[in-house]
Amino acid sequence: ETIEAFNKFIASVEMRLESRFSGRTFLWSDEFPGVRQQLLKGVVIAQPMQGNGIVPLKGGLVQDWRGAVFISHASLQDVMSIVQDYDRHRDYYKPDIENAKIESRQGDEFLVYMRIVKAKFMLSDVLNTEHAIQFIHLDAKRVYSRSYSKRISEVAAPGQTDEHELPVGQDRGLLWRLYGYWFFEERDGGVFITCESITLTRDFPFGMAGLLAPVIHNLPGESLRKSLEQTRKAVVSRSGTGSAPQPSH
């Protein structure tokens, strides 16, 4: 029932994103002049889609966040060379991504393995994951991608001799699904990146809301902001475009 409800939620999200997929309104940040100005000043934005970003489903919770960053003096090719370099994502996105590798590729369609580490307060979670990722080129200056998790398994005793994956449904449910929609546009002397990141976790078990709520509430936004910052840092470092603009406070 939870997965069925999640799939319906995703269908509604993709219907809403159709105008972006077609290029009619490509970047969400363009709809808010103030946001665009912040991005040009170097601010990295991560915010809930609505309310606190949490949408309750039967037996689960969806976290729906969007983010944006501007990478000045970069080209679309500079950004794609980092984003699609999955075999080195463990370098660009550590410590959240401990390992990553391309399992298969057909043109602009990738199947990627990632070992994801989520840690906050005293709680940590190590997950072996697989993602189907497709890139769609609208024109020479605009690309978007859709990323769907195909498998997520929680790892017990990570790094120890008895390390093993927990059976699906017999884990803590801190991450059941991870979907992402990313939009890249080269203009104004750099590249804008906007995205919407959607995760599915279990609902809080009785008596554990106090421990889990801060993690579930804050981690998606923190992870999204960090990944946007790390993308910019990796692009700047590789392309030698100079330092990233410093956010004005």
Tokens of 88: 């080195």
Give me the percent of the chain exceeding a pLDDT of 90. 72
Which residue from 220, 224, 148, 223 is spatially nearest to 193, judged by alpha carbons?
224
Neighbours of 62 (CB within 10 A): 24
Neighbours of 20 (CB within 10 A): 19
Tokens of 248: 């004005």
Which residue from 68, 110, 64, 116 is spatially nearest to 90, judged by alpha carbons?
116
pLDDT of 45 higher than 90:
yes
Q: How confident is the model at residue 181 (pLDDT cuts 50, 70, 90)?
A: very high
Span 199-208, pLDDT tens digits: 998 886 545 5
pLDDT of 144 higher than 80:
yes
Which residue from 85, 89, 84, 111 is spatially nearest to 100, judged by alpha carbons?
89
Give me the percent of the chain exceeding a pLDDT of 70. 89
| Stretch 24-39: mean pLDDT | 96
Beta bridge mates, 165: 155
Which residue from 237, 240, 193, 182 is spatially nearest to 71, judged by alpha carbons?
193
b/e for 211-228, b at 16 or more Cβ within 10 A? ebeebbeebbbebbbbbb
Question: Any residues with CB less than 8 A from the CB of 89 and at least 6 apart, and which?
Answer: 97, 100, 114
Instruction: Supply the pLDDT for residue 205.
Output: 57
pTM of the model: 0.91
* 65 vs 217, residue with greater confidence: 65
Of 123-127, 144-148, 205-209, the least confident: 205-209
Q: How far apart are CA 165 and CA 158, in angstroms?
A: 9
Span 87-117, pLDDT tens digits: 999 999 999 999 999 999 999 999 999 999 9
| Stretch 211-222: mean pLDDT | 72
* 248 vs 14, residue with greater confidence: 14
Q: How many CA atoms lie within 13 A of 210 on its CB side?
A: 1
Q: How confident is the model at residue 211 (pLDDT cuts 50, 70, 90)?
A: low
